[in-house]
Structure 1
Amino acid sequence: MDPLRVAVVGLGVMAQVVYLPLLARRRDVFKVCAVCDLDRNHAETLGRELSVPAYDDAAAMMDAGGFEAVIILTAGSHARLVKDALDRRYWVLCESPLAYSRAELNGIPGDARLMVGCAKQYDPATYRLQEELHKVGGAGAVRQMDISILHPSDESQLLFARARASRPVSERLAVQREADDEVLTAALGTDSERLRRLYAQVVLGGVGQELALMRLLFGVPATVDHVSVWPADVFPPSIEVSGVLLDSGCGRYGLRRHCLPSYPAYHETVAVHHEHGSLELDFLTPYLLNAPTTLTVTSRVGTTERKAVYRDIAEAFERQLIAFNRFVTEEEPPLTGIEGALADIGAAQRIIRRYAEWAGIPAKVERAEEEGAQ
């Protein structure tokens, strides 16, 4: 079968450090045919290196064609670009968050040619955790799920990468930011700059991947009981979220993300405690390809506590790309499509709504009482 011809929109860090190297590694199933970035000089530099056409306007690139699928890696809301690509009958892989609001996605059907990226869902350690969880009785056996993230600055995580910066002209950036601000104001029902930034950068942009991982393992959290954000004079701040994990009332969850600019290294732990033991994932920074996620399975045999440790160097982003190829060529459904993305946006809005109530910030969040918002 011929390689899937793709175009890449957004040539920032994730494109340079993760996606383009993996697409080059998998020339057997992918062929990059065009690139696009708001910074035309930056796009042309990468286009020359890849020997493909370069654009600074995604619509013009899609109209020119020459490919079957579009990979969207831009900052901010991706809804407009996704709709433009789907309207032109392209298959789409879009990094999360797909959008800031549910209204932006009106008109996209459930069977759209759309896959939303969440590499943690495709990590081999996540697959093994699912298998181990099934062995002990599934979600109903879970007592507690805890997620803890220690997040250094992106700059410190990327010192090794030597990625080149994209520097669009200020006028183009201003247009994009104004459009994002309008969407955020409509989604949250407030002009509070702090609430908009918390939602976009800390909730959707910060723990959105974890919300998608929780949904894969257990479904959308049943409630959001508590949200704390601190310290007040630091951005991005720490955030803590807790609530009931399942609609049945069994199990709770706790989600904590600490943005610590000078912390030595990125660490993320996902711990699932059940009636018979524990399952614990340790994720490393996503910028290091083939860095293994560790799964530790703790159980009891007689009077002995047993720990089994699994590490797999298969790259989660590569597995995600192969899943996208199968989605296009074999119509194998992705782990997250439009319905999953809508569910994650709804969960994020429930979190920001609870925080607004706690902080006394007047807001009318788009996601109202339907679906049992707490």
Structure 2
Amino acid sequence: MPLRLGIVGLGAVAQLVYEPILARRRDVFEIVGVAELSRAVRDAVGGRLGVDRAGRHASVEELLAGGGLDAVLVLSSGSHGAVVDAVTAEGIPVLVEKPLAWTHAELDRLASRSGLIQVGYMKRFDPAYRRVAELLDGGGSAIRAVEVTVLHPSDARQIAFRGGTLATATDVAPERTAAGHAHSELLRAGALGGAAATLGWVYSDVLLGSLIHDLAVLRPLVGDPRDIGWARLWPEDWHPERLSVGFDADLAGAAQLSLRWHYLPEYPSYTETVRVHTETASYALTFPAPYLLHAPTRLRVTSAREGYTEVTESTSHLEAFEAQLADFHRGVANGLAPAIGLDEARADLRTCQRLAAALAATLGLRIGGEAAGTSDVAEPVGATGSPRQ
């Protein structure tokens, strides 16, 4: 039976990813309301989703006041802590895009409602990823190294296939935009203290906005990073349109992690590769651009068999976003615990603050805020995010 769904935030990910999926999956969700600051965007997208004008709202508060919601999908920009707080205070389950929050203080306010919150890490629902998890779980060979490389072109290049037809927010009052920016700055300062003046956007946009996906992918496979031995930003004149970020860290069992993230505005296509090297085999996952639905995830396994090298390649076209939505529906409809919940959101937040602290040390900055209390060794967190069968 379809659940009555509300959507908060109608930007690029809503229009390029969730809108076409939800338009097809009327069997699992009926869209009864949307919340979006821009009237032009909420009318355009709400209209395409079949939401009547009475269900198109300017705020989450208006959406909740309208009633009739079984669940809410949170796709707004920035930290989602305040929106999730408002929704779950009404007892309504949420599926929230990453990151759930930018500070532990926000998560603390949600702790008593953890059973209502599922965090959107769609890659964990990808069949190719699940196959790697199975192979590593049954292989019995120690993991020696993990390498993550992200080549990130501009958003404009990533959505060029759409032909520039996205509904855009050009009608939001400047004071509303300014208030949003001010709130974001307060959260960054709460997380990093004075170092936020230099590293705040790296923390929120790069670590929590992108690399957080890789942390969630790695956690069930190898756990969270432990000691961070090397951290760097480059080139020397790095800025938001010209940046590479790198980390080397210890993992459990004497394995080593290498994370490299590169913002390359004119690079031809988004590419994200995760390689796991054991003592007997290598497993390489290449994820597609997130805005391209049903683009293949590629898995390449290199191993030894009876004296020769065996290389196998497979692809998965099953859309991970759709699998995640179906899982959320099953969970809400059957009263199940969230597949990926608050504990993992906190683990990601803790690791991202530790990574930011390592970058601050490299730059000679004094880290403050919540990150000042982070440890060099991450606390172990049990991953709960196996998709429901």
TM range (shorter): over 0.9
Among 59, 63, 66, the alignment partner of 2:65 is: 63
1:94 matches 2:96: yes
Could you tell me the TM-score, scaled by structure 2's length?
Answer: 0.91
Quote the offset at 1:51 in angstroms.
Answer: 2.9
Question: Contact conserved, 1:367 with 1:373, CA < 8 A, in 2?
Answer: no
Quick check: 126-135 or 327-336, which moved more?
327-336
SS at match of 1:366: helix
Correspondence for 2:140 among 126, 137, 159 = 137
1:151-190 C-alpha deviation (Å, 9 max, x unpaired) = 1111111011232212322211111111111111111111
Q: In structure 2, do the counterparts of structure 1 residues 211 and 365 end up closer, same or farther at CA, with 3 Å as the change threshold?
A: farther
Question: 2-side partners of 1:370 and 1:75: how far apart?
Answer: 26
Larger mean Cα displacement after TM superposition, 38-47 or 363-372? 363-372
Partner of 2:270: 266
Q: Partner of 2:152 in structure 1?
A: 151
Tell me the CA shift for residue 211 of structure 1.
1.2
Give the counterpart of 1:241 among 231, 247, 253.
Answer: 247
Residues 193-212 of structure 1: matches in 2 within 5 Å?
Answer: 193-212=197-216
Contact 1:10/1:74 (<8 A) preserved = yes
Deviates more, 1:42-51 or 1:156-165: 42-51
What secondary structure is seen at the aligned counterpart in 2 of 1:258? strand
Which amino acid in structure 1 is aligned with residue 150 of structure 2? Answer: I
CA contact (8 A) 1:86 1:112 kept: no
Aligned residue for 1:307?
311
Where does 1:32-71 land on structure 2 (aligned, <5 Å)? 32-52=31-51, 53-71=55-73
Task: Give 3-state SS (helix, strand or coil) of 2:15's partner.
Answer: helix
1:225 aligns with 2:224: no
1:334 corresponds to 2:333: no
Query: 2:4–2:32: 8 Å Cα contact kept in structure 1?
Result: yes
Q: Distance in 1 between matches of 2:100 and 2:268?
A: 30
Q: Which amino acid aligns with 2:109?
A: G
Bigger Cα displacement from structure 2, 315-324 vs 167-176: 167-176
Contact 2:234–2:245 at 8 Å: present in 1 too?
yes
Aligned counterpart in structure 2 of residue 351 of structure 1, from 351, 355, 380: 355
Q: In 1, Cα distance between the equivalents of 2:12 and 2:296?
A: 21
Does the C-alpha gap of structure 1 residues 263 and 69 become closer, same or farther in structure 2, counting only changes over 3 Å? same
CA distance in 2 between counterparts of 1:365 and 1:210 reads 24
Q: Does residue 112 of the first structure (1) align with residue 115 of the second (2)? A: yes
Alpha-carbon distance in 2 for matches of 1:262, 1:372: 36
Supply the distance in 2 between the matched residues of 1:232 and 1:193 (Cα, whole angstroms): 18
Shift of 1:112: 2.7
Between the aligned residues of both structures, percent identity stands at 36
Runs of 4+, deviation exceeding 6 Å? none
Q: How has the CA–CA distance of structure 1 residues 335 and 228 changed in structure 2, closer, same or farther, with 3 Å as cutoff?
A: farther
Q: Distance in 2 between matches of 1:96 and 1:320?
A: 13
Q: Which consecutive residues of structure 1, in runs of 5 or more, have no partner in the other structure? A: none
Deviation for aligned residue 1:371: 5.6
CA distance in 1, matches of 2:236, 2:177: 28
Contact 1:214 1:221 in 2 (8 A): no
Q: Which residue of 1 aligns with 2:177?
A: 173
**Offset, 1:192:** 4.1
What SS does the corresponding residue of 1:278 show, helix, strand or coil? strand
Instruction: Name whichever of 161-170 and 21-30 sits farther off.
Output: 161-170
2:6, 2:33 within 8 Å by CA — same for their partners in 1?
yes
Structure 2 spans left out of the alignment, 5+ residues: 379-389
How far apart are the structure 2 equivalents of 1:127 and 1:114?
A: 22
- Counterpart of 2:78 (choices 76, 79, 93) is 76
Opposite residue 190 of structure 1, the aligned amino acid is G
CA-atom RMSD, angstroms? Answer: 1.6
CA distance in 2, matches of 1:239, 1:191: 16
Residues 285-333 of structure 1, C-alpha deviations (whole Å, 9 max, x = no match): 0111001101111111122100111111100100111111122112333
Which deviates further from its counterpart, 109-118 or 289-298? Answer: 109-118
Report matched runs for 1:250-329 at 5 Å: 250-329=254-333
**Residue identity opposite 1:25 in structure 2:** R
Is this contact kept in 2: 1:121–1:335, CA < 8 A? no
Q: Which amino acid aligns with 1:182?
A: L
Q: What are the residue-to-residue correspondences of 1:183-198 with 2, within 5 Å?
A: 183-190=187-194, 192-198=196-202
Structure 1 distance, partners of 2:195, 2:358, is: 17
SS in 1 for 2:137: helix
CA drift of 1:368 comes to 4.6
One-letter identity of the residue aligned with 1:242: D
In the alignment, is the contact (CA less than 8 A) between 1:101 and 1:366 conserved in 2? yes
Shift of 1:191: 5.7
| Distance in 2 between residues matched to 1:367 and 1:228, nearest whole Å | 17
Alpha-carbon distance between aligned partners in 1 of 2:192 and 2:324, rounded to the nearest angstrom: 31
What secondary structure does 1:41 align onto? helix
Partner of 1:123: 126
Per the alignment, do residues 370 and 262 of structure 1 end up closer, same or farther by CA in structure 2, a change over 3 Å counting? Answer: closer
8 Å CA contact retained: 2:45, 2:167: no
2:151 alignment partner AA = L
How many equivalent residue pairs? Answer: 369
Pick which of 181-190 and 42-51 moved more: 42-51
